[in-house]
Amino acid sequence: MILTVILLLAGFYLLIKGGDWLVDGAAAVARRNGVSELIIGLTIVAFGTSAPELVVSLFAALGGNADISVSNVVGSNLFNLMFILGICGLIIPLAVSKSTVKLEIPFSIIAVLVLMILGNDIFLSDSRFMLSRIDGVILLVFFSGFMYHIWRSIQSGENEKVTDGIMSNGKAVLFIILGLAGLVLGGRFVVNSAVSIAEYFNISQKLIGLTIVATGTSLPELVTSIVAARKKSMDIAIGNVVGSNIFNVFLILGISATVTPINYNPAFNTDIIILIAGTLFIMLAMFVGKKHQLDRWQAAVLLVVYVAYIVFIANRN
């Protein structure tokens, strides 16, 4: 068990460093091509910080650990939305552009609604509670639609290229390669260790996935958003969280389900409903007033609700 815990911690370290290296390398390439902070947050940074979830969920699905695969995504999205935005909002009120409130945040709600519909097989007469390969393709089609929206935003924007103080292309590519290697190795360590711990203490994989694994794989998002908030880069802080939540559902579960069908535990419906309610709260907070920002008291509400949610799922499991 001691060795398992060491491997779990080593896996988290590799995930964090891998995501960090991948973000640094990818962001350098993006900035050299004149991409705005919001677009970087919604795409490059969001993908880089979501890469741990991708690796963990994919390995979990391939290993037949469906509860970890799905709970990792749902738990990470809840952690991103409530804990990360809660912490960042306490540091400084988070103001975002109108397009984020009107387009990207509603798109993240659509993502979890689609997941609930597909997972419960609502439109099938015989509910099998499974994300099939066809469901995976549907999720990837939605992801393509999101990326098309981002591409249109890039085409319509006037972005200035930045080269001063940015790492060279060669160094950036090296960072990307090292980041991917760290993510793959760290992902295997985290999944295997989490499953062993769950079996040893007779704890459900769902609880492990919603808490330990979800928090560990969301650490890159946490660090990135806190740094962005402290530097007053609001669009990166918000874009990272919103983009990651969209990536997690449409890309990560889309790829995982396309590779191998994933059993869907209907108990996740409660967690998804809480996630939808939290996202609606964020959107409402952004719409109230003229500043389009998440104030400190609203951030505190998110943190309180998240703590209550952790207590709830611990008792439930």
| pLDDT attached to residue 135 | 92
Q: Shortest CA distance to 90 belongs to which of 271, 219, 237, 218?
A: 237
Q: How far apart are CA 213 and CA 190, in angstroms?
A: 7
At 25, the pLDDT band (50, 70, 90 cuts) reads confident
At 21, the pLDDT band (50, 70, 90 cuts) reads confident
Q: What is the mean pLDDT of the chain?
A: 81
Contact predicate 76/253, CB 8 Å: no
Q: Which residues on adjacent β-strands are paired with residue 262?
A: 131
Q: For residue 100, what is the domain's CATH number?
A: 1.20.1420.30
Instruction: Write out the residue range of the structural domain in which residue 149 sits.
Output: 2-316
Q: Which amino acid is at 142?
A: F
Q: Which amino acid is at 257?
A: A
186-198 pLDDT per residue, tens: 877 887 787 788 7
At 317, the pLDDT band (50, 70, 90 cuts) reads low
- Structurally, the chain folds into a number of domains equal to 1
| pLDDT attached to residue 82 | 92
Q: How far apart are CA 108 and CA 193, in angstroms?
A: 30
| pLDDT attached to residue 294 | 82
**Which of 85 and 62 is assigned the larger pLDDT?**
85
Q: How far apart are CA 304 and CA 317, in angstroms?
A: 20
203-251 pLDDT per residue, tens: 777 777 777 777 777 777 787 788 778 777 777 778 888 888 999 899 9
| pLDDT attached to residue 286 | 75
End-to-end CA distance of the chain: 22
Cα distances (angstroms) measured from residue 271 to each of 67, 123, 228, 229, 263: 13, 21, 28, 27, 16
| pLDDT attached to residue 141 | 95
Interior angle at CA 111, CA 213 and CA 265, nearest 5: 50
49-79 pLDDT per residue, tens: 777 778 888 888 888 777 778 888 888 899 9
Rg (CA), the chain: 19
| pLDDT attached to residue 160 | 54
Q: How far apart are CA 74 and CA 252, in angstroms?
A: 11
142-182 pLDDT per residue, tens: 999 988 888 887 777 655 555 556 778 788 888 888 887 88
Q: How far apart are CA 183 and CA 22, in angstroms?
A: 9
Q: Shortest CA distance to 109 belongs to which of 296, 229, 275?
A: 275
Q: Is the pLDDT of residue 96 over 80?
A: no
Q: How far apart are CA 290 and CA 280, in angstroms?
A: 18
**Residue 141 burial by Cβ neighbours in a 10 Å radius (0-12, 13-18, 19+):** exposed
At 37, the pLDDT band (50, 70, 90 cuts) reads low
| pLDDT attached to residue 115 | 92
**Which of 291 and 68 is assigned the larger pLDDT?**
68
99-143 pLDDT per residue, tens: 666 678 888 899 999 999 998 877 664 557 888 899 999 999 999
Q: Angle 214-230/46-62 helices, nearest 10 degrees?
A: 180
b/e for 288-300, b at 16 or more Cβ within 10 A?
Answer: eeeebbbbeebbe
Cα distances (angstroms) measured from residue 258 to each of 34, 62, 110, 140, 254: 34, 11, 20, 9, 6
Full-model pTM: 0.79
